[in-house]
Chain A
């Protein structure tokens, strides 16, 4: 769960990382409650998508009137389709130096790494100037931070102060079960103070259940998702939207990806990735069917279930129900494995053809979609 910048900075301040002293506004008129003497200010759109600076979501304002017009514009400016509900208003700061700092889990090290670059404010994925210090077994100590500081060329008091910030970011990362805790840029101001000018925190979604303060928060942090992806998330279905016309419903992530790939291999275009997971019952599959077919782009539904823990007859029952309410829907069904015989009986009764050969099902779905 990706947090908004203002929320990330709240967590930073809680654990002692300095940030600019800002406030959030929910409408442009609110800028008039900000003391006129405190200007100039920075207005920052609060969205989850990246690239907001380039897209015009960050503006400077010299006075209230200026801020009012700029805030109006920012509230109306979608960033990658996402409109802000909040603007963060902060004082402008003097920047002597910008640094990139992040803590995340790296698969290759099987543990967390500290990552920094002497160039802050950069696109970290494309930067070549990144220094990494792994923290084996997550047994953190301050020397890892000092090592990192030295690697990015900090000396003297700056090295010590930087390491102290890393200590605190480490606390954020562990305390809240983060996937990522990032400060970009971490700046050194005119008085040699380190300040988190921006903050990006992604909480691990499998872990939020053990942090009561984030209970019920997920729904407010999905503004970067498409409609079907959002609805799927709300009922525990993992769906990813694509641009084709063959709706895919499958069980297991690997098999779902392989099915998508097969559709493409046979000349078709998958409209989505939907993994109903293991052990799905009839009602869960019904919701999944609704979700897949709720897009007008979907011309054919391809169902591929390999029953291990999942019982094929549960899936068949959901398909029979779906056929009743949507008799015209084009469906190609492959069911194999656990309770396949019971499923066959249900499908025969409902008049839905089924196969147990994957290649055949995919070929048929592709050919039906081509005719639609």
Chain B
């Protein structure tokens, strides 16, 4: 068991013949993901290294049970691609694309909500259930299968933690890279809910960063709904106000969105907060000792 994806998940790749889509379709397939088809308009009938390519998402659903679509198309075409996948009834969509115009993101999430579609991202590394299924751009070898749920707004920082855990011989159930944009689909609260309901996940790591109030809202949710231990971390203690720190969502506006406020919210929800990424590993070990 894991959340969102597992060894039985059938995946299609939209934009499979592009540079990004091609590279990562190859890596996902090598990891063991069931990539059943690719979609590139105008290239239907071709195949990409043994993966059949279709013109439309709808056609792929006539040939396969499609559980998930991973989108690698350029920013100004990503909304259209995602709407196509939603309309075709695919239950889970991961938008890896960085730089999606926010007004497109609003439309995407409104359509997803109306259709009950789960959207991961945009601007995210995707999701991995180690040893079973990888969607997106996580370096698969960095994670070991196990019982910790990992939620993060960042890509490489997620890898850093996955790697640290692996070096300590600790594995994860699923890692969800929720994305660094202000408007995202599967958020911290949804991820917490999924991990709380997953019998195989024993503990949750929540990696936040400055900007917005998602961590504060997640902390409220943890207080009332999460019974599993949660380890928290917030990146950006040293970030100056008003400056966008790489991610479009990572900006302190006025006195809102600071690392301090997020840490305090976590602590008030009985979340153990790490000062550094490697302290997360120490806290996980301590909690594992208590659980054992």
Give A contacts to B, CB under 8 Å: 105, 107-108, 110-112, 125-126, 136-139, 174, 177, 179, 204, 206-207, 209-210, 238, 240, 242, 250-258, 260-265, 270, 273, 275, 278, 306-309, 336-338, 358-359
Q: Would B254 and A125 count as touching, CB distance under 8 A? A: yes
- Choose the segment among B49-57, B60-68, B136-144, B192-200 that binds chain A (4+ C-beta atoms closer than 8 Å): B136-144
Q: Would A337 and B99 count as touching, CB distance under 8 A? A: no
Q: Would B157 and A207 count as touching, CB distance under 8 A? A: no
Residue of B nearest to A126 (CB): B254
Q: Would A254 and B156 count as touching, CB distance under 8 A? A: yes
CA of A338 to CA of B137 in the docked complex: distance in angstroms? 13
Q: Does B253 contact A (CB under 8 A)?
A: yes
Q: In the complex, which of the residues A138, A207, A240 contacts B245, with contact meaning CB atoms closer than 8 Å?
A: A240
Chain B contacts for A251, CB-based, 8 A = 156
Min CB distance, A109 to chain B, in Å?
Answer: 9
Chain B contacts for A308, CB-based, 8 A = 125, 137-139, 142, 155-156, 159
A254 with B183: in contact, given A111-B110, A338-B139 (CB under 8 Å)?
no
Among all A-B residue pairs, the 6 with the closest Cβ atoms: A254-B154, A253-B246, A252-B156, A137-B110, A254-B157, A125-B254
Residue of A nearest to B177 (CB): A254
Residue of A nearest to B214 (CB): A107
* A-B Cβ contacts below 8 A, count: 169
Q: Would A206 and B245 count as touching, CB distance under 8 A? A: no
Chain A contacts for B262, CB-based, 8 A = none
A258 with B163: in contact, given A107-B183, A240-B240, A252-B156 (CB under 8 Å)?
no
Min CB distance, B158 to chain A, in Å?
Answer: 7
Q: Would A337 and B154 count as touching, CB distance under 8 A? A: no
Q: In the complex, which of the residues A111, A139, A240 contacts B243, with contact meaning CB atoms closer than 8 Å?
A: A240
Residue of B nearest to A106 (CB): B182
Chain A contacts for B243, CB-based, 8 A = 240, 273
Q: Does B48 contact A (CB under 8 A)?
A: no
A105 with B110: in contact, given A254-B209, A262-B276 (CB under 8 Å)?
no
CB proximity to A under 8 Å, residues B75-134: 75-76, 99-103, 106-107, 109-110, 113-114, 125
CA of A308 to CA of B124 in the docked complex: distance in angstroms? 13
Q: Does B269 contact A (CB under 8 A)?
A: no
Q: Would A275 and B160 count as touching, CB distance under 8 A? A: no
Min CB distance, A124 to chain B, in Å?
Answer: 9
A107 with B212: in contact, given A254-B158, A254-B235, A255-B154 (CB under 8 Å)?
yes
A273 with B160: in contact, given A111-B110, A309-B137 (CB under 8 Å)?
no
CB proximity to A under 8 Å, residues B147-164: 152-160, 163
A306 with B156: in contact, given A206-B248, A256-B245 (CB under 8 Å)?
yes
Chain B contacts for A137, CB-based, 8 A = 106-107, 110, 113-114
CA of A278 to CA of B247 in the docked complex: distance in angstroms? 12
Min CB distance, B161 to chain A, in Å?
Answer: 9
Given pairs A210-B76, A254-B207, 15 additional interface contacts (CB within 8 A):
A125-B254, A137-B114, A139-B110, A204-B103, A207-B102, A209-B76, A253-B154, A253-B180, A257-B157, A257-B238, A257-B250, A258-B276, A260-B239, A306-B160, A308-B159
Chain B contacts for A209, CB-based, 8 A = 76
CA of A306 to CA of B277 in the docked complex: distance in angstroms? 13
Q: Would B157 and A105 count as touching, CB distance under 8 A? A: no
Chain A contacts for B139, CB-based, 8 A = 307-308, 337-338
CA of A270 to CA of B237 in the docked complex: distance in angstroms? 12
CA of A125 to CA of B242 in the docked complex: distance in angstroms? 12
Q: Does B217 contact A (CB under 8 A)?
A: yes
Chain A contacts for B286, CB-based, 8 A = none
CA of A262 to CA of B157 in the docked complex: distance in angstroms? 13
Min CB distance, A342 to chain B, in Å?
Answer: 16
Residue of B nearest to A206 (CB): B99
Chain A contacts for B113, CB-based, 8 A = 137
Chain B contacts for A250, CB-based, 8 A = 156
